[in-house]
Amino acid sequence: MRLLIIEFVTGGGFAGGVLPESLAAEGELMLQAVLHDLHGAAGLAVTVARDTRLSRPPAWCEVVDVEDAPWPRWAAAVDAVDAVLPIAPETDGLLERLNGLVVARGRQLLGCDPAAVRIAASKTRTAAALQRAGIEVIPTSSDASRLPASAHGWIVKPDEGAGSEHTYHLRDAAAVRARLDSAEIAAPVVQTFVPGDPVSLSLLCAPGRVRLLGCNRQLQTRAGDALRQSGVVVNGAIEHLAAVEPLAGRLPAALPGLLGYVGVDLIVGADGPVVVEVNPRLTTAYAGLSASIGYNAFELLRRACANDASVFDLPLERRSVEVRAHG
């Protein structure tokens, strides 16, 4: 199999412009984790899209150099391979467009269907889809005049956005409305703040199947009102495994088209788990997944995308592995 990896930030998404340092560090973390899993894999010829301002990938990879105009370069690279692993933020429809490029050119997509990405990219669309399926989700709205009652304040964040950029915990309704009306956040939304343990899930998905690979503890820091994700402990929240597994099992029916690796952020509070958002792509937790579960995480992803049912029944070790975010 000829495999192409397009990590948006390090693969040329900002070619011809300023390369954001923190985003590049996060992208590099996930890319290097995938390359570690791929090293020495039999029957795979790996190609990596690369911004020419960055260091070269390992010598065993072929490289598609991107200096400017990334989309034509990526399209030509997709045409030359059998399968593509896209890694990109959902912001501004980037992941949906990249996944759609692969589908349109008839190559195997090792990722979620563009229609599923379109829903998961938006906090409001995700909340509506999960509510229709009877899955507990944090109330999410863009209406500053109708804040839900809350004893613990509210979270303000972008409706479409990856990571914790521009995420604020505010306890005063007037401050929430001011933040929603400000120009800092494009299309902001407000969510009720739910006290509890911040947890993320690393899921392996295929049509009609899901396997919970990681029940992860989210590491957060606070600077004033701003919340930031500083890292994750992969399988560091397994005490919540029994509570979150039924929820994970219902996600594929609620969001058809989830495929391969999918991340889910949730809060496990006094009344059980509630979903915060769904990430239809690799997340930071992937970087510690292989070491945690005792299997090559990319090989599991590849087999899931090929609808190999046996991959969903493998026994997992679930060791605790900490991954620190960059930037």
pLDDT for 164 equals: 67
Burial of 41 (0-12, 13-18, 19+ CB in 10 A): middle
Q: Which residue has the higher pLDDT, 161 or 249?
A: 249
Mean pLDDT computed over every residue of the chain: 93
Average pLDDT over every residue of 268-281: 95
pLDDT tens, 109-125?
Answer: 999 999 999 999 999 99
pLDDT at 61 over 80: yes
Output the CA torsion sign for 240, 243, 249, 253: negative
Reported as type and span, the H/E element at residue 5 is: strand 2-7
pTM for this one? 0.94
Distance, CA of 10 to CA of 228 (rounded, Å) = 22
Output the CA torsion sign for 232, 234, 238, 241: positive
Average pLDDT over every residue of 233-239: 98
Residue 103 neighbours by CB under 8 Å, 6+ apart: 109, 113, 114
pLDDT at 250 over 70: yes
pLDDT tens, 139-168?
Answer: 888 776 778 778 899 999 988 876 667 899
pLDDT tens, 72-101?
Answer: 999 999 999 999 999 999 989 999 999 999
Bridge partners of residue 87, in order along the sequence: 7
The two tokens of residue 227 are 């919340």
Distance, CA of 65 to CA of 57 (rounded, Å) = 11
Answer for the pair 196, 293: CB distance below 8 angstroms, yes or no: no
Distance, CA of 314 to CA of 220 (rounded, Å) = 31
Output the CA torsion sign for 244, 169, 96, 44: negative
Angle at 229 between CA 226 and CA 234, to 5 degrees: 160
Sort strands 188-192 and 154-158 into parallel, antiparallel or unpaired: antiparallel
Reported as type and span, the H/E element at residue 75 is: helix 70-79
Average pLDDT over every residue of 227-251: 95
Domains of the chain: 2-110 (3.40.50.11770), 112-327 (3.30.470.20)
Closest CA to 166 of 151, 192, 146, 187: 187
Answer for the pair 112, 280: CB distance below 8 angstroms, yes or no: yes
Sort strands 45-51 and 188-192 into parallel, antiparallel or unpaired: unpaired
Q: How far apart are the first and last CA of the chain?
A: 34
Rank 47-51, 158-162, 179-183 by mean pLDDT and report only the highest. Answer: 47-51
